[in-house]
Amino acid sequence: MESEKDLKILRHSAAHLLAHAVIELFPKTKLTIGPATEEGFFYDFLPEKNFKEEDLPKIEAKMHEISQRNLKIEHKEISKDEARKIFKDNPFKMELIHEIPGETVGLSTQGNFYDLCRGGHVKYTNDIKYFKLFSISGAYWKANKEGTPLQRINGTAFYSEKELIDYEKRKEDLLRYDHRKVGKELDLFSFHDEGPGFPFFHPKGKVVLNLLIEYMRKLQQELRYKEISTPIILSDELWRQSGHYKHYKENMYFTKIDNKKYAIRPMNCPGSILIYKNKPKSYKELPLRLSEFGLVHRHELSGVLHGLLRVRSFTIDDAHIYCTINQVENEIFNIIKYINIALNRFGFDKISIKLSTRPQKAMGSIKIWNQAIDLLKKSLDKSNIKYDIAEGEGAFYGPKIEFKVQDSMGRVWQLSTIQIDFFLPKNFELSYINSKGEKETPIIIHQAIYGSLERFFAILLEHHKGNLPIFIAPVQVKILTITDDQKEYAIKTFNELKSNQIRIEIDETSDPISGKIKNALNEKIPLMIIIGKKEVENNNLTIRYLDGKQETLTIENVIKKFQNIN
Amino acid sequence: MESEKDLKILRHSAAHLLAHAVIELFPKTKLTIGPATEEGFFYDFLPEKNFKEEDLPKIEAKMHEISQRNLKIEHKEISKDEARKIFKDNPFKMELIHEIPGETVGLSTQGNFYDLCRGGHVKYTNDIKYFKLFSISGAYWKANKEGTPLQRINGTAFYSEKELIDYEKRKEDLLRYDHRKVGKELDLFSFHDEGPGFPFFHPKGKVVLNLLIEYMRKLQQELRYKEISTPIILSDELWRQSGHYKHYKENMYFTKIDNKKYAIRPMNCPGSILIYKNKPKSYKELPLRLSEFGLVHRHELSGVLHGLLRVRSFTIDDAHIYCTINQVENEIFNIIKYINIALNRFGFDKISIKLSTRPQKAMGSIKIWNQAIDLLKKSLDKSNIKYDIAEGEGAFYGPKIEFKVQDSMGRVWQLSTIQIDFFLPKNFELSYINSKGEKETPIIIHQAIYGSLERFFAILLEHHKGNLPIFIAPVQVKILTITDDQKEYAIKTFNELKSNQIRIEIDETSDPISGKIKNALNEKIPLMIIIGKKEVENNNLTIRYLDGKQETLTIENVIKKFQNIN
């Protein structure tokens, strides 16, 4: 596989090839810029007459034609005076020439096509063979909404046909397995105009949410967390004291009670803190680990709402650990361990870790920040885990560790977070009595493994392409009878499995078995139990897996199979 | 036991005795009225100088003295003219004489004491022997805040000493087992000024809440309910459509999003309805039973907030059953069955049922109301359950069945409700396609067993006097070692029981065993495991019950004991 840098060279060259084709087809078009991107490349044009999607195949064909001409791609440095002569009719290029520092600029040429360019190309146009244009979108000169409106043609390029095909397949998968589409097909959730950005969970979606909570509750119990629940509406003053009002007001919703201002919580910390403060604490009670499946509301612009991935209300598997400075390292070590257990359980094995340090807009001294960052580094080192440092990407109230996972379609998602907080304990004057009888200020560790349960659900759906792992599938198994003669045996089987906490359904239609199998596959149910005459006679069950493999087992062995899964 | 009417006669006579004693001790006091009440009696006075709590024993002693004089209590009708002469110095009595219809009024006398009175007394003052004064409170003439401020002396009276002692004991219990007090002692929940009326659940309180939810979820699964979850903020228009805005606005909280008005939900119905409407429905899908543990917010005046019994936010074990008219009877029959199962499980065996009919302020025609009431009656009759009819006490949108329980301290609480609703389905234009392919409107049955989980929790705590039944106790068992030598064995036992889902703690103090037992009793933990030298040697455990009884068992048998409980 080519290195990332080489791919960028290829794609930037493809952008030139695109511009070359456009100029040959539409000579009056004005060129602006054409960089490589993460996913491919684009070129922004000022066309004489707007391009339409129908133009793309024609442009792509012209690109192939120029590629086959196998023109040599050359690059040279020319004086700005010379460049100004060449580009005198193109105000965009003239502006760029003015802005480039130094006395010379780069000029790239292939045949009679030329472009202002920093350089970095393949050698011949025929080196660019595997490319695809996929869309036209609006853009502005220098991405400035006040600037000239342009048209952007988007595409991608690879060094091999296989890579291009894989990429197109992935693009298709992204559409096919979009969680919004799958969620609708499987009747998991919906959105309604009456509550934009607020998800409605249907019965099967709610089963998954409840299973996510149940699984996390078990992990939290192993970590000796104690679950609490606190109100979702709390006084304005509290949010001023916590600093959220100052830093987060634009994303909060407010209400009035008895003519006093209250906020609908965007975070769960202040509620947890009020419980901590409810009684004086001794060092013997620390670390005190309070967890909450806390519903929060945060405003998002309506334009960026995106299924369950970007909502205005969601539940966080939140935890706040109140501890001494000496306990931080061990607490974080344990959390890291459990984050890995959880992410692996849900099928994420490509995990990367980022340690984010002090941002520009931050509370507290640099000294305190450095102390916190050192503790996080120590815990990571002790866990024997590789991590990157992201300078300046911490939250305003403390440094954090973020866990990212790569999903089955190559995308990277930020999930779990651990955050040290020296500031809220001071703001809220938290204290405990140490072993010498003196008052000290505890540290808070904020921590979430799923983060937003709703978002995690969406990522899980897309990662597994709708085929949720059996331990979290809303329906784990469906009974299909060959004919209605097996109905009685099917109901007996249903009741026995159901009483063993297996999530089961019966197909009660009169469809032929092939139709029943097709429906179960569409419903993405991990297992089918097929019952025909033979199974009734032999008092056993035939299991059919997603891949079509079958196996005949006694009912006891089917139950055992599930006990191993759950 | 005396009938209720006789008790009222006794208590009204005791009020006269009180007034008699007050007049002898404080002759310049002006008398007003002195009725019997549910709990006892009171008399409202206009004193020359305000009475103090310290005066009560003196007044009570004087009452006993007058009682022992054994004065004959006489009643006669006199003309209003005569009455006006007798009471000319008392403006309150003069006002009453003016208001009483007819030409005569009643006069009651005992010795040289007399009072304006309708009649109904015991025969001699010595018939009033077992009474108690308990407080002085403020009152207004005719309960009108603009009227003359008076002082009310409260007391009670019974026919036997035993009844009086029992009553005083119950009054003490009410104070001692007030859930607010118990909740604080057992560290279950708290309230904070930052969210008045919004409960904060501490770890042990949250365990109970989660167990309540888990238990109900199991019952709901047996009833084939499907759990959903819907947003807690929904648009203003929706609440106008549902009728809540018109009938309930004063109790709702509002917010703004993108300059549009939204309400924080006071009820869960509209969210459920939006899920019903999400897809067209066929008669084959009915009855569709959607349940939700839905958090609602309802305004209450700050003066009436009362621990968990009266809050501003709570969770309802809500369910909405969408069905045809023919399905109503059977659905309600099943719900009634499960309500009885649940209430019995939590130790309520004194259950009474009320069917509430059309109130003054109601939606819909009388014909539709009568149809609904007939269906409810049929289901109740089929269940073979006695019920009372409360005319005019239904909700504005339909008739309902309410379940009341009597608690261990004699108080009656309204808990479960079942409500038929013909109106919301029409308001929201709900429909299903019947077997003939025609559109029809379903009926909604609203149903809740706990009602408010928070309120149910409070009632449960008071009913069981803090000793929650073992299946719902936050800590089921505590291990107490005689000396530190048994620590290792205690930890082994702890781990084994914990891995069997038993909620367990170890007393890690160095207190003597008597102190450890005392602490466990104070914490109201249903079972203790006592481990001494003998238990370690014999590899068994000694169980100590709340009543002090002990029993020595193997660890396996202890686990079995718990499996039978849960």
Q: What does the pLDDT look like over A519-564, one tens digit per residue?
A: 999 999 999 999 999 999 999 999 999 889 999 999 999 999 888 8
Phi, psi of B437 (to 5 degrees): 85, 10
Answer yes or no: is B174 within a domain. no
Name every chain A residue with its beta carbon within 8 A of the beta carbon of B297: 233
Contact B278 A302 (CB under 8 A): no
Given a cut of 70, is residue B80 above it in pLDDT?
yes
- Which chain A residue shows the shortest CA-CA distance from B495? A222
Which residues in chain A have their CB less than 8 angstroms from residue B237's CB?
194
B255 contacts A253? CB cut-off 8 A: yes
Residues A248 and A397 in one domain: yes
Task: Categorize the per-residue pLDDT at B1 as very low, low, confident or very high, splitting at 50, 70 and 90.
Answer: very low
Bond before A47 cis per omega within 30 degrees:
no
Query: Average pLDDT of chain B?
Result: 93
Instruction: Provide, as residue numbers in chain A, all residues whose Cβ is less than 8 Å from the Cβ of B190.
Output: 274-275, 278
Residue A52 or residue B385, greater confidence: A52
What pLDDT, on the 0 to 100 scale, is given for residue A541?
95
Do B370 and B325 lie in a common domain? yes
- B-chain residue closest to A264, CA distance: B255
Q: Which two tokens stand for residue B360?
A: 């003054």
pLDDT score, position A247: 79
Q: Do A257 and B187 touch (CB under 8 A)?
A: no
* Distances in whole angstroms, Cα of residue B425 to Cα of each of A48, B270, B276, B327, B440: 57, 10, 10, 16, 10
Cβ pair A233:B271 closer than 8 A: no
Structural domain boundaries, residue A260? 182-463
Nearest to A229 among B194, B206, B233 (CB): B206
Strand stretches in B159-312, DSSP E: 189-190, 200-201, 226-227, 233-235, 253-257, 260-264, 288-297
- CATH number of residue A499's parent domain: 3.40.50.800
CA–CA dist B137, B151 (Å, integer) = 6
Query: Which residue pairs from B431-436 have beta carbons closer than 8 angstroms and sit at least 24 positions apart in sequence?
Result: B431/B280, B431/B281, B432/B281, B432/B282, B432/B283, B432/B285, B432/B286, B432/B322, B432/B324, B433/B280, B433/B281, B433/B282, B433/B283, B434/B283, B434/B324, B435/B283
Kindly state whether residues B310 and B367 are assigned to the same domain: yes
B515, part of any domain: yes
Closest residue in chain A to residue B201, using alpha carbons only: A229
CB contact under 8 A, B230 and A200: yes
- B200 to chain A: which residues are within 8 Å by CB? 228-231, 271, 274-275, 278
Read out DSSP for A417-472?
EEEEESHHHHHTT--EE-TTS-EE--EEEEEEEEEEHHHHHHHHHHHTTT---TTT
pLDDT over threshold 50, residue B504: yes
DSSP-based three-state secondary structure for A373: helix
Across the A:B interface, residue pairs with CB atoms under 8 Å apart total 132
In angstroms, what separates the C-alpha of B203 from chain A's closest C-alpha? 5
What the block records as the tokens of B519 is 């602490």
Picking from B199, B229, B256, the nearest residue to A201 by CB comes out as B229
Give yes or no for residue B430 having a pLDDT over 50: yes
- pLDDT confidence of residue B532: 95
- Same domain as A194, residue A66: no
Minimum Cα–Cα distance from A229: chain B residue: B201
CA A443 to chain CA centroid, Å, is 30
Same domain, A485 and A455: no
Question: How far is residue B66's CA from residue B54's CA, in Å, rounded to a whole number?
Answer: 20
Chain A environment of B192 (Cβ under 8 Å): 274, 278
Beta-carbon neighbour count of residue A441 at 10 Å?
Answer: 14
Q: Looking at the structure, do residues B223 and B346 belong to the same domain, yes or no?
A: yes
Distances (CA, A) of A402 to A137, A353, A455, B37: 33, 6, 16, 66
How far apart CA B503 and CA B481 sit, in angstroms, is: 18
From chain B, pick out residues whose CB is under 8 angstroms from the CB of A229: 200-201, 206, 209
Burial label for A183, CB within 10 Å (0-12, 13-18, 19+), is buried
Contact across the interface for A203 and B290, Cβ inside 8 Å: yes
Q: How far is B201 from chain A (nearest CA, A)?
A: 5
Q: Which residues of A are less than 8 Å from B299 in CB distance?
A: 257
Computed on alpha carbons and rounded to an integer, the radius of gyration of chain B in Å comes to 30
A271 to B200: CB separation less than 8 angstroms, yes or no? yes
For A500, other C-beta atoms within 10 Å of its C-beta total 15
Probe site for chain A from B257, B260, B506 (most A CB atoms < 10 A)? B257
Q: Which of A199, A233, A295 sits opposite B195 (nearest CB)?
A: A233
Residues of B with Cβ-Cβ distance to A278 under 8 angstroms: 190, 192, 200, 202
Question: Is A227 in the same domain as A257?
Answer: yes
Q: Is the peptide bond before B512 cis (omega within 30 degrees of 0)?
A: no
Helix ranges (DSSP H) in A186-324: 203-222, 236-242, 244-248, 269-277
By CB atoms closer than 10 A (0-12, 13-18, 19+), residue B396 is middle
According to the model, what pLDDT value does residue B145 have?
A: 78
Answer yes or no: is pLDDT of B296 > 90. Answer: yes
Tell me how close the Cα of B104 comes to any Cα of chain A, in angstroms.
51
Shared domain for A11 and A95, answered yes or no, is: yes
Chain B residue nearest residue A238, CA to CA = B194
**What is residue A71's DSSP assignment?**
P
Taken as a whole, chain A contains a residue count of: 566
- Chain B residues with beta carbon closer than 8 angstroms to that of A274: 190, 192, 194, 200
pLDDT in tens, B53-77: 999 999 999 999 999 999 999 999 9
- pLDDT(B8) > 80: yes
Question: Which residues in chain A are contacts of B474 at CB distance < 8 A?
Answer: none
Strand bridging mode B113-116 / B104-110: antiparallel
Report pLDDT digits (tens) over A123-156. 999 999 999 998 999 999 988 878 899 999 999 9
Using the beta-carbon criterion (under 8 Å), do A203 and B254 form an inter-chain contact? no
Closest Cα of chain B to A453: distance in Å?
13
A175 in a structural domain: no
Q: Select from B200, B233, B257 the Cβ nearest to the Cβ of A274.
A: B200
Measured in angstroms, the CA of A205 and the nearest CA of chain B are apart by 8
Q: Is the model's pLDDT at A423 over the cut of 50? A: yes
Encode pLDDT of B232-258 as tens digits.
Answer: 999 999 999 988 888 788 899 999 999
- The rounded distance, in Å, linking the Cα atoms of B234 and A347 is 35
Question: Which residue type sits at B189?
Answer: F
Angle formed by the axes of helices A555-565 and A487-498, nearest 10°:
40
Distance from CA of A461 to the nearest CA of B (A): 19
What was the pLDDT predicted at A566?
Answer: 61
Chain B residues in contact with A231 by the CB 8 A cut-off are 195, 198-200, 313
Which tens digit of pLDDT belongs to each residue from A59-108?
999 999 999 999 999 999 999 999 999 999 999 999 999 999 989 999 99
Find, in chain B, the residue whose alpha carbon is nearest to that of A277: B192
CATH number at residue B122: 3.30.980.10
Closest Cα in chain A, distance from residue B497 (Å): 14
- Our count of domains for chain A comes to 3
**Is position A222 within any domain?**
yes
Q: Which residue in chain A is spatially nearest to B276 when comparing CA positions?
A: A202
Name the residue of chain B whose CA is nearest to A278's CA: B190
Q: Evaluate if residue B364 carries a pLDDT over 80.
A: no
Interchain proximity A227–B233, CB inside 8 Å: no
Confidence of residue A4 (pLDDT cuts 50, 70, 90): low
Q: Residue B540: inside a domain, yes or no?
A: yes
The answer to whether B7 and B120 have CB atoms below 8 angstroms apart is no
Q: Name every residue whose Cβ is closer than 8 Å to that of residue A308 and which is 6 or more positions away in sequence.
A: A179, A180, A183, A189, A199, A454, A455, A457, A458
Task: Identify whether A11 is part of a domain.
Answer: yes
Q: Are residues A70 and A125 in the same domain?
A: yes
Residue B470 belongs to a domain: no
Specify whether B151 is located in the same domain as B264.
no
Q: How far apart are CA B150 and CA B46, in angstroms?
A: 5
pLDDT band of residue A292 (cuts 50, 70, 90) is very high
Higher pLDDT, A278 or B384: A278
Domain assignment present for residue B541? The answer is yes
Q: With bands split at pLDDT 50, 70 and 90, how would you rate the model's confidence at A3? A: low
**Per-residue tokens: A229:** 């629940």
For the segment B469-488, what is each residue's pLDDT rounded down to a tens digit? Answer: 999 999 999 999 999 999 99
Same domain, B123 and B246: no
Instruction: Find the residue in A nearest to B225 (Cα).
Output: A203
DSSP letter at A143 equals G
Name the residue facing B227 among A203, A235, A253 (closest C-beta): A203
**Which residues lie below 8 Å from residue B12, measured CB to CB, with a gap of 6+?**
B34, B35, B36, B41, B120, B121
What CA–CA distance (Å, rounded) separates A390 from A388?
6
d(CA A109, CA A288): 68
Our CA-based measurement puts residue B533 at a distance from the nearest CA of chain A, in whole angstroms, of: 28
Q: Average pLDDT, stretch B156-178?
A: 92
Residue B290 sits in a domain whose CATH number is: 3.30.930.10
Interface test with A, best of B180, B185, B200 (most A CBs within 10 A): B200
State which of B107, B127, B161 marks the end of a domain: B161
A310 and A304 in contact (C-beta within 8 Å)? Answer: yes
> Is B228 in the same domain as B360?
yes
Which residues in chain A are closer than 8 Å to B187, comparing Cβ atoms?
A: 279
